[in-house]
Structure 1
């Protein structure tokens, strides 16, 4: 993908196939000017950051309640959350789309973000990790006069950084690479995300694979970069969530 994006058009299907005979950096500038990629990037960044922030905040609150608080029906609620992960996404798409249209959120950042602010996968991962944290730490904080929220944000959350990194990476990849939901709730080119923009770009510039690959590389850089930065924390978080459950 990268090497093709740096080839001149006549050399795309000619040897050497892997390494460009001559680097054509202008393909990136031409691809960026051929479509409003800056707008696509902005929409995708706002949507993805909103989803990541929602997952980290709401999933953490829900996971803490299910891991630490004692209340009737706690296990039943958790099993119901796990059961939602078995429901095909397509079954919930149409009702969610209908709500977005009725609320006037079509072609807006609100419609892209709000219906996906919480995630059952994140709750399961964070709950499993929180159960590995010794209860004695919370008890010591209570002796010092800390309340539930203070214990959560000052004791539990700092210890859950590997699990939070795991949730953040998966949420980012989910939001950045999502295609179906943005396709449903947007039709205006100014509201499109990077994946929808690439689909339109593919239709217009499919005869020019070097431009298509340049646009794809630009779209993939944030996700690849985030994974490389957080991969150690991601591995630690995934490994720790399987210790006790």
Structure 2
């Protein structure tokens, strides 16, 4: 597979202090950083553990991403490259929902993947990707919801997502509605959100009135018809670095 050239090779390479790398290594999310030629600049400890490369006698840093021996890339390499190319062209962070099988955990995992550009002098010097593990029940319920409205797809899927609430719903409102769309009952929603069942019912009642619907069950139909399943609720938007802090707050030192 050809190596991807992201921008002018004269763009200064990144120089990330060791203290920042130590911080990223302690993250509970999988983090990888690519340079401007799509070579692996850094992967954190959880990334290596997830891909069973934490004990491998191979130096990952400096390898083209296509040369890194992990299963997720073998099965989805074209899609990963297309995702990265789109980030490079738009200079914007692009999220996606990834569902993959990992031998390290002996099963499927759903992750919220965000990839954003690292820019120097308005040019892309590389990319930083962060994958946040999502609750296990999301693997089953999300695919079930999607497959009920579109043609069933391969278990390893890539859905383009929006990191916003639909129809100006508040965070707490959309968290509740999203769990309802996944098939959870009121008691299950209350338990997962650590709120009372009465709060769940009152939240749904308020949304029903606002949307001009007659029954709470119609909220799910309305949500599916309007693509709410492609929005990520606030409770799942808790990545530690790329979403909350941003590249500037990471302390990157862009040296020549």
- TM (norm. structure 1) is 0.24
Bigger helix share: 1
Q: Which has the higher contact order (CA 8 A, sep 6+)?
A: 1
- TM (norm. structure 2) is 0.23
Bigger strand share: 2
**Which one has the largest radius of gyration?**
1
